[in-house]
Amino acid sequence: MDLSLLRTFLGVYRAGSLSRAAPHLGLSQPAVTAQIRALESALGQQLFQRLPRGVAPTSVADELAREVAPHVDALAAVADRGVAPANPLAKPVHLAGPAELTTVHALPALAELVGRGLKLRVTLGLADDLLAGLAARRFVPRYLCRDELDSGTLVALRRPEVPPINTLFLAARAGTTTLPHIAAVRTRLLSAAASW
């Protein structure tokens, strides 16, 4: 079973609402709904009663939460270890792109943020390499995520008036653009890209 489904389940269980859980999980509300449905399908059990405002856990959800919460919370604590809550830049940002553009332009533009504690996970490569990363859900090229962009699952952060032949896209999951580490990277790259 995918642990992210259990993380999403706990977020909804604790928030009492799919839409209230979404920003805390860094997901869009439709993505949270899809993950809850996937978990319900995998378990063959309904986890929540849908209400006009929020959701109510079923007895199956109560039991599942009791069983998985300590373990999922412990894994989250390990994943967050070393992330100083006082530093909003301490959470990692995934960056992927062609080696030349990334090393000559993007990384120098982000150097000051890295000096302030930003953690970058960088993947360099051509289309095939980046598509392999897509399969691992690290980044998404526009031509492969048009449906998600149209549905709002992903949000395009900038659309130039006259797009260049080789367009560079800066993408973030819906609902995450206001997170401090994502907002700082977005602002810095958009500002620097004007001179590339």
Residue 169 shares a structural domain with residue 100:
yes
Give the integer Cα–Cα distance in Å for 180 and 185.
Answer: 9
Total domain count, the chain:
2
Q: What is the mean pLDDT of residues 17-30?
A: 86
183 and 123 within one domain: yes
Length of the chain: 196
- Does one domain contain both 110 and 68? no
Q: Give the C-alpha separation, 192 to 108, whole Å.
A: 9
Residues 75 and 100 in one domain: no
91 CB neighbour count, 10 Å cutoff: 17
Q: Which of 47, 80, 113 is the last residue of a domain?
A: 80
47, two tokens: 């986890």
Query: Both 18 and 99 in a single domain?
Result: no
Output the pTM of the full model: 0.50
Q: What is the CATH number of the domain that holds 8?
A: 1.10.10.10
Does 85 reside within a domain?
no
What CATH number does residue 155 fall under? 3.40.190.10
Answer for the pair 8, 173: CB distance below 8 angstroms, yes or no: no
Would you say residue 86 lies in a domain?
no
Domain identity same for 38 and 65: yes
Do 64 and 146 belong to one domain? no
> pLDDT tens for residues 145-164?
667 677 776 666 666 565 54
- Asked whether 12 and 48 are in contact (CB, 8 A), the reply is yes
DSSP secondary-structure letter at 140? -
Mean pLDDT of 66-71: 94
Domain membership of residue 62 (yes or no) is: yes
49, 6 contact by CB (below 8 A): no
| Most trustworthy range by pLDDT among 75-79, 110-114, 158-162, 171-175 | 110-114
Could you list the residue range(s) of the whole structural domain that residue 47 is in? Answer: 3-80
Q: For residue 29, which of 177, 176, 175 has the smallest C-alpha distance?
A: 175
Q: Check whether residue 45 and residue 137 sit in a common domain.
A: no
